[in-house]
Structures are given as structure tokens and as C-alpha cells.
């Protein structure tokens, strides 16, 4: 039994229990057990289940063990079958509507009898939903917007989730007979923030069609479409779609290039190749006489086309071919260029770890500094800090700095940008911070003029160092609030304010297209993991990928600089704002 298949079944049970309104601890137990199994990667858990040894793992209790035994012995779960038969299918689909959780779905089912998204939409439109106790007209309108978002984003995955699925699938494919190499292609290789399908290119020692057939029979696959042939589309047991192309190992590099895309980029390169008497046939570079170039790879392809090699992230037909032809491609930022992080939370607000634990984790990553920027007092929902908490935190940071030699913790804050554009806290308290991140966390319903004025007003405060998650988007969940992003970037460049690329995979805000604009305008960008735990410091890796896609170089990025350079950047802004860091 593949642990990923078992984990998916347990997650299905957890979801069904949630929307049925059953004991939340029970559904949570199944979800916890599923996470435990997901960490087992590709091991076969059959023997562990039969021996009951799997019960030693965290989160595997008697109830979940019984389901696992059933799965191993019968290939399915009678408990899951019972839940499916007695729960309307549409209730689980409703979980994907932004802002609609299981408790509300259960109340909608009980109060209005709605069993599908379509029925929920009709109830929101005809007034029945607004009349249900605890809902109202505003909630009905919000749910209608959520349904529209669901339809627009249906089938898409966050980059972080797609990357994990691709890695697991690649490991499974690599175990098949005849496979020499498996490479991720498509929009995932181009570091798109969301993807609809996973694309993999498989290099085969021989018989690509046989490998494709074997891929369709793997235990993680619920449906295979295509064949006989070397290309096949898979639907995994968790619903993820994957396109698999199997090719002879010798032609894998150029097959990977073509499968990476984008289509417009590839067409542009092919046009240049043909102008020079070359072409791409059967994943081989051939000359005008049809003779193949031996062992040609991606770099050879670009060289023959008269171009510098273009990194996958840039292959979007947004000026990269002109830059490659003229030698003006950027020297893209790399993970090793990052020297610290500034947007991080501790257990003083809504983080899960102490300042010391966060600092140690950052130092273990090879960073030189970590900025602690907990929420300000207006963010009551996130445990925002009042004045006394700020003073206690600064004392603690001083103690941590005395303990950690060769590493520095910086005193920051994520101050709410209030509705009128003021930064949370008074001037005297703001002056105590070494840098200030300003973020919008409320009143998203403002129109473009109002929101733009609100943010530009905040940018007029000389203490503001960084504009946090500038457009407020949550990928696949919440659209950006209306904002004149051009005006904001222009003001940031003029005033010496860094705009953030929030690296949380649910945000990745500022969008990479705007990053390209920011670079052109000369605005500085800060890569903020928005880390709430030591583990989520790793979000910086997603940010670096998106920064590369936005054409950023190390010199464009604030936290690719030393701690002292970061503080100089902050001090230049507020030089006229009065004495800083008063004791």
C-alpha cells in the first residue's frame, strides 16, 4: 500500500466528517494521521500495517489503524464508502469555496437543504441564504464571489503543492524499469505561482511506450488517458493531473526544453533557428540537410539560434529573447545570495516559536541576521503587541543578541496601515524600531482610489521601510484589492521604500510581472518569508524562484545585503523623523 494513497483516503474521511458536522476531534485525528503518512514518501506500508507497527507513529490511533488495515486487506475502506454513500457529494466541493468552512457548510445543509455548489449559488441569489440566521446579505454576496473564484481557479494548484506532488511522482517513475532520468517541465519548471497540470519528461534506456504504459499502472494513479504510445495523461488518486512524456534518454534535453515552454518562447527560438538553417525534429537539433547535431542540449539550442541561454523562469515571451540576443539578460538572484530575513513573527504575536528559536533556525540556514516583525496593536486577531509587549520584546532581543555571537536579531514591526493611511502606533513608539513593515490587513473593500491613497499616505511616513504584501492577494482564494500598483511602485522608487515579495506560497505578492516593473523603475524589493515558525523560514525558497521570474538580481533585493546595509536603508528614510531607538 502506497502511503500517499492511504493518506489521501484518510484526508477524504476527515473532510467528510467535517462537513457532516461530526466531532471535530475525530476529523482532526484522521487529518493528522494523513500528514504522518505523507511524510513516509515512497515506502510500502503494508507490512507495517499488518504487524500493527505503524501504530507507533505519531497520530496513528486505533480508529485510523482500523481504516489502514481495511485498506491493506481489501484495497478500500468500508468506513469511507459508508461516509460517501450518506453524504451529498457537493458538500465536499463547497469546502473549496473561499471563506466557507465546514461548520457553515453543515449549517447551510441543515438550514436550507443545499447539497451542491449550484444550489448554494441559487440560494445566495434568491435571498434564502441572506435570511438564514447567522448569515445575512454581506455573507451571501461574499459566498457568491467565492463561487466565482472557485470556478475561475478550478483545477489549479499552488506552486508549493504542485512541486511536492511532482517530486513524489518523479520518485515513483524513477523506480520503473527502463527509466534513467525524470525531469520536471511545464509551468512548474518556469516557476509559475499556480499550475493546472504537472508535466514530467522521462528519459528511457529503451521502449518509451512500455514505460508510459507502466506509469499508468502505478498505485498512485486512479486514471490513465492515452496510449499506446510514449505520452500519457495521469489523474492521481488525489485528483492531481500529470502529463508524462517518455523519450529516449539521448534526446531528453531538447524534449525537456520543448515541454518546459512557454509556447510563445519556444516558437520565437524556433523561428530564429530556422533563419539560420536549423530546426527541431523528433527532439533533435538538425541542420538544413536533416543531419542531427550530436548530443545537443538546451545551451546548444540557444547558441545556434544566436542567443544566450535563457533560464527557465524567464521563458514567458516578455522580452527575454531580445535580452538574450543583445547580452542584457539579468544575472538572476540565487538562494545563496540571501543574507537574512526581515518579515518574521515570534510567539509574541501569532508565531509559534520564541525569538531565540527563530534566530537559531535562521543561523542554521547560513543567514547573518533575522528581523522580528510581529503584528502591531491594531491586529488584535493576531495577538498584536501593545507598548509594554514591544518594550519586553526589545529587551529579549538584546539578550538574544548578547547570546548569539556573529548573528544579529533586528527590531522590526509589521505595523497595520490603518484606513486613513496612518501607521499603527504613535511616533514615539515607531521610533524605537530599527525598521518598519507596513501592511494592509483590513478594509479590503475600498475602491481603487481610496486604497491607493491609503497606501500612498502610509508611504509618506518616513519610518516606513518596507511595504508588506502590497496587493493583499491570496492565491486561488482572494483577489488583489483594487490598487494603482504603478503609482505605488513609482512612489517606492522615489522615496526609497522597499516593496515586498511576500514568500508565503499562498501569497507570492508582489506578482512577478510587477517585480519586472519594479526592477525597471529602480525600486528595491524585499523577500519576506512571513515566517510564523522556524520551518516556514524555508518559504524564502519560493520567493527566490518568483524573484528570478521577475528578473531580479541580488542588487535589487534588500535582504541580499548585510544587516548594516539594511539598517542604513531604513535610516536614510527616517533621518528627519527624530531620534531613533530611544531607550
Q: Which three cell numbers stand for residue 409?
A: 536579531
pLDDT, tens only, 249-263: 999 999 999 999 999
Share of the chain above pLDDT 90, in %: 73
Q: Which three cell numbers stand for residue 118?
A: 449550484
- Quote the mean pLDDT of the chain: 92
Average pLDDT over residues 456-476: 96
The pLDDT confidence band at residue 39, using thresholds 50, 70 and 90, is confident
Q: Which three cell numbers stand for residue 52?
A: 500493527
The reported pLDDT for the residue numbered 579 is 38
Domain with CATH 3.20.20.140 in the chain: 335-573
Q: Cα(516)–Cα(529) distance, rounded to whole angstroms?
A: 20
Of the candidates 170, 206, 213, 208, the residue with the CA atom closest to the CA atom of residue 188: 170
Q: Span 3-153: which CATH code? A: 1.10.150.20
Q: Has residue 231 got a pLDDT over 70?
A: yes
Task: Give the CATH architecture of domain 335-573.
Answer: Alpha-Beta Barrel (3.20)
Q: How many CB atoms lie within 10 A of CB 286?
A: 17
DSSP structural state of residue 469: S
The pLDDT confidence band at residue 583, using thresholds 50, 70 and 90, is very low
Q: Which residue has the cell 491613497?
A: 453
The reported pLDDT for the residue numbered 545 is 98
pLDDT, tens only, 431-462: 999 999 999 999 898 999 999 999 999 999 99
Strand partners, 344: 531
pLDDT, tens only, 206-216: 899 999 999 99
The reported pLDDT for the residue numbered 271 is 97
Coil/strand/helix, residue 351: coil
The pLDDT confidence band at residue 582, using thresholds 50, 70 and 90, is very low
Q: Cα(391)–Cα(563) distance, rounded to whole angstroms?
A: 22
Distance of alpha carbon 210 from the chain centroid: 35
Domain with CATH 1.10.150.20 in the chain: 3-153
The reported pLDDT for the residue numbered 22 is 85
Q: Has residue 156 got a pLDDT over 90?
A: no
Q: Which three cell numbers stand for residue 579?
A: 531620534
Coil/strand/helix, residue 145: helix
Q: Cα(485)–Cα(521) distance, rounded to whole angstroms?
A: 12
Q: Which residues contact 395 (CB under 8 A, 6 or more apart)?
A: none
Say which CATH superfamily domain 261-326 falls into.
DNA polymerase, thumb domain (3.30.210.10)
Q: Has residue 47 got a pLDDT over 50?
A: yes
The pLDDT confidence band at residue 41, using thresholds 50, 70 and 90, is low
Domain with CATH 3.30.460.10 in the chain: 157-254
Q: Has residue 410 got a pLDDT over 80?
A: yes
* Secondary structure element (H or E) that encloses residue 373, with its range: strand 369-375
The pLDDT confidence band at residue 493, using thresholds 50, 70 and 90, is very high
Q: Has residue 274 got a pLDDT over 60?
A: yes
What's the pTM?
A: 0.84
Q: Has residue 380 got a pLDDT over 90?
A: no
Average pLDDT over residues 355-360: 98
Domain with CATH 3.30.210.10 in the chain: 261-326
The reported pLDDT for the residue numbered 575 is 65
The reported pLDDT for the residue numbered 1 is 79
Q: Cα(439)–Cα(455) distance, rounded to whole angstroms?
A: 9
Q: Which three cell numbers stand for residue 253?
A: 534535453
Distance of alpha carbon 521 from the chain centroid: 26
Select the more confidently predicted residue: 78 or 324.
Answer: 324
The pLDDT confidence band at residue 555, using thresholds 50, 70 and 90, is very high
Select the more confidently predicted residue: 286 or 145.
Answer: 286
Q: Has residue 295 got a pLDDT over 80?
A: no
Q: Span 157-254: which CATH code? A: 3.30.460.10
Q: How many CB atoms lie within 10 A of CB 137?
A: 12
580 phi-psi bin (left φ>0, alpha ψ -120 to 50, beta other): beta
The reported pLDDT for the residue numbered 367 is 98
Q: Are strands 194-195 and 157-158 parallel, antiparallel or unpaired?
A: antiparallel
DSSP structural state of residue 423: B
Q: Has residue 335 got a pLDDT over 60?
A: yes
Amino acid at each position: 500500500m502506497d502511503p500517499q494513497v492511504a493518506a489521501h483516503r484518510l484526508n477524504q474521511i476527515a473532510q467528510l466528517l467535517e462537513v457532516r458536522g461530526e466531532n471535530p476531534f475525530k476529523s482532526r485525528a484522521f487529518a493528522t494521521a494523513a500528514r504522518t503518512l505523507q511524510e513516509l514518501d515512497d515506502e510500502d506500508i503494508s507490512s507495517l500495517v499488518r504487524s500493527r507497527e505503524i501504530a507507533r507513529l505519531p497520530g496513528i490511533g486505533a480508529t485510523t489503524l482500523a481504516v489502514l488495515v481495511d485498506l491493506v486487506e481489501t484495497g478500500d475502506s468500508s468506513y469511507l464508502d459508508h461516509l460517501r454513500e450518506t453524504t451529498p457529494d457537493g458538500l465536499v466541493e463547497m469546502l473549496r469555496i473561499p471563506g466557507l468552512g465546514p461548520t457553515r457548510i453543515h449549517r447551510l445543509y441543515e438550514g436550507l437543504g443545499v447539497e451542491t455548489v449550484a444550489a448554494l449559488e441559487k440560494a445566495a441569489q434568491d435571498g434564502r441564504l441572506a435570511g438564514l440566521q447567522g448569515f445575512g446579505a454581506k455573507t451571501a454576496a461574499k459566498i457568491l464571489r467565492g463561487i466565482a473564484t472557485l470556478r475561475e481557479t478550478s483545477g489549479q494548484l499552488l506552486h508549493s503543492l504542485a512541486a511536492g506532488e511532482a517530486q513524489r511522482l518523479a520518485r515513483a517513475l524513477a523506480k520503473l524499469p527502463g527509466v534513467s532520468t525524470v525531469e520536471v517541465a511545464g509551468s512548474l519548471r518556469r516557476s509559475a505561482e499556480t499550475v493546472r497540470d504537472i508535466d514530467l519528461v522521462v528519459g528511457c534506456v529503451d521502449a518509451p511506450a512500455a514505460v508510459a504504459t507502466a506509469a499508468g499502472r502505478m498505485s498512485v494513479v486512479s486514471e490513465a488517458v492515452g496510449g499506446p504510445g510514449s505520452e500519457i495523461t495521469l489523474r492521481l488518486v488525489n485528483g492531481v493531473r500529470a502529463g508524462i512524456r517518455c523519450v529516449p534518454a539521448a534526446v531528453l534535453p531538447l524534449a525537456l526544453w520543448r515541454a518546459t515552454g512557454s509556447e510563445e518562447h519556444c516558437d520565437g527560438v524556433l523561428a530564429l533557428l530556422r533563419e539560420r538553417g536549423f530546426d527541431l525534429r523528433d527532439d533533435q537539433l538538425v541542420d538544413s540537410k536533416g543531419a542531427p547535431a550530436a548530443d545537443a542540449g538546451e545551451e546548444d539550442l540557444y547558441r545556434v539560434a544566436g542567443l544566450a541561454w535563457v533560464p527557465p523562469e524567464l521563458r514567458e515571451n516578455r522580452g527575454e529573447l531580445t535580452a538574450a540576443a543583445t547580452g542584457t539578460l539579468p544575472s538572476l538572484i540565487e538562494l545563496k545570495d540571501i543574507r537574512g530575513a526581515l518579515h518574521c513573527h515570534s510567539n509574541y504575536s501569532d508565531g509559534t516559536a520564541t525569538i531565540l528559536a527563530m534566530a537559531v533556525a535562521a543561523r542554521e540556514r547560513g543567514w547573518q541576521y533575522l528581523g522580528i516583525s510581529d503584528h502591531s496593536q491594531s491586529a488584535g486577531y493576531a495577538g498584536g503587541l501593545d507598548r509594554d509587549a514591544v518594550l519586553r520584546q526589545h529587551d529579549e532581543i538584546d539578550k538574544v543578541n548578547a547570546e548569539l555571537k556573529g548573528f544579529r536579531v533586528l527590531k522590526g514591526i509589521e505595523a497595520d496601515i490603518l484606513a486613513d493611511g496612518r501607521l499603527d502606533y504613535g511616533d514615539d513608539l515607531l521610533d524605537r524600531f530599527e525598521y518598519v513593515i507596513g501592511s494592509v490587513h483590513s478594509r479590503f473593500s475600498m475602491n481603487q482610489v481610496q486604497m491607493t491613497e491609503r497606501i500612498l499616505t502610509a508611504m509618506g511616513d518616513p519610518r516606513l521601510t518596507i511595504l508588506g504584501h502590497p496587493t493583499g492577494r491570496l492565491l486561488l482564494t482572494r483577489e488583489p484589492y483594487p490598487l494603482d500598483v504603478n503609482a505605488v511602485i513609482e512612489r517606492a522608487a522615489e522615496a526609497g521604500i522597499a516593496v515586498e515579495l511576500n514568500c508565503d506560497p499562498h501569497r507570492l505578492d508582489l506578482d512577478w510581472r510587477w517585480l519586472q516593473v519594479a526592477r525597471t523603475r529602480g525600486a528595491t524589493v524585499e523577500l519576506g518569508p512571513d515566517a510564523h515558525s522556524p520551518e516556514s523560514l524555508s518559504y524564502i525558497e519560493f520567493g527566490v524562484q518568483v524573484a528570478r521570474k521577475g528578473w531580479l538580481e541580488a542588487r535589487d533585493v534588500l535582504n541580499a545585503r548585510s544587516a548594516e546595509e539594511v539598517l542604513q536603508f531604513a535610516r536614510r528614510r527616517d533621518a528627519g523623523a527624530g531620534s531613533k531607538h530611544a531607550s
